[in-house]
Structure 1
Amino acid sequence: MSEVQNALEIAFMQAVREPASRPGFYKLLLESDIYIIGKTDAEGQGETVLQPDVQLSIFNWKRQDGTPVIPFFSSLPMLQKTLQQESGYVALSAKAMFEMTRGTALIFNPGSDYPKEFEPGEIDALLETGVNHVAQQRVVQKPTQVMLGQPAKYPSQMMDALSTLLARHASVKAAYLGLMHDREHDAAPTLIIGFLGDGDVEIAMKEAGSVAADTAPEGVPVDFMCIAKGEGGVSDYFLQSVKPFYERSLGAKLRGLFGSRA
């Protein structure tokens, strides 16, 4: 993407370079208008509001395996750069387009230096959670013995990305890394991240799940949990035996208390 045109393209390029910025890109994408190749049966040209009875035809391409993929674009110049011949186009909100094309793969800015494909599952996750990965929740119904320790190989890429992300969430006081094996549930050990917070850390954990999905060692699952003093079990292991990989700075705490200034 050699010529950046708007805030969405700036956010996308930041997300390409830095995994911790990807949740912010997804949030902005859902709030943005995008362009698709297509037409409506409404009369006239120019900006208009699509009425419920207007038919919208969306152009799609074929992958090498024959499956359809719908191209969409961050700006009109990006769309025009890709077209080989004059075609109609429609601007609409990305969220509305995701809803109406649900179940079909999409490709963002094809023809650019960094196209991004979205599989149907990613679109479902974006619409349901605001990020491209839906975490699976597990509720422990009974006291369970687990083995705890540290991974033999430190997942540096994931840890660096999570540290950068968590610095943007003032509700997270600290975060810890461990290796856990629940033999009744998992065939192999999983990485586990413990979040120590000052309140609701749900948004931070949701975004962290998206970042971990992109940066965790291949084939290694990652579990998240909230920890607190006095809870015993895994919480005590982290708080008493493990140095946090992330600790909130005073500056981050003050930003959380008073808000950031433009």
Structure 2
Amino acid sequence: MTKITTDKLAQLLAAARATPLVENPAHAEEAVFKALLDATVYAHVPLENAPEGRMRFIQFVRPDNKQTVLPFFSDREQAGVASANRVAIVAMSGRRLFELTRGATLMLNPNIDQVALYPPEIVALLEGRPLGSYTQETLVDCEQVGVCPPAEPTDELVLALRDLFQGEATVRAAYLAEIHRGADSNDIFLLLTIVVPPAHKERLIHLISLTIQPVSSHLTLPLTVSCISPDASLPDLCNHGIQFYGT
């Protein structure tokens, strides 16, 4: 086991924040997650003592999606500023924190990085499995594209996603289409459209990135994910692809 210093963790975080300027953003993010296990991290606990043999952590409700998260910090200074002297601060390895807080959703550096780690991702980190990564893109509504059902094999992808969605009551439906865009229609990718309430969008995208890791090497086209609220109109693109989940 190699001890990760606070300075080294800060360097890795700085590289990840430079995304997409770095050459391999996925590698930069994965390096941070791996380093967290052997780095000293900091969390908030109540000032009063917990019952013997137990440790209680401070959590807060996110204003954007109303999810409860447990904040932790990559350095003592951030933890101190966020505590405002109203709570105590504990230090431990990231691995120990993850083991103690299994089942909780964690957030790294909530005032700077705001990186949420959901329970299945915590399990994956402890087991040494990659989390996967994604980038965000804003699509132009008026852009003209070609669309058709996937021409390349997607059976493994569909099966993995269907298994995931069957355990997610928030997912109403899911569609998959092959998109051709660009001047010569040579920019080709798979578009996964999910009908899900906005408050669950981030968590679902994280879980999709994690779930498709074992099958991603079999995909011949990049995958783009779009989330649609149940009360919004379904994009016409979906009608030209396939619906593989929901009714």
TM-score (norm 1): 0.45
Larger of the two Rg values belongs to structure: 1
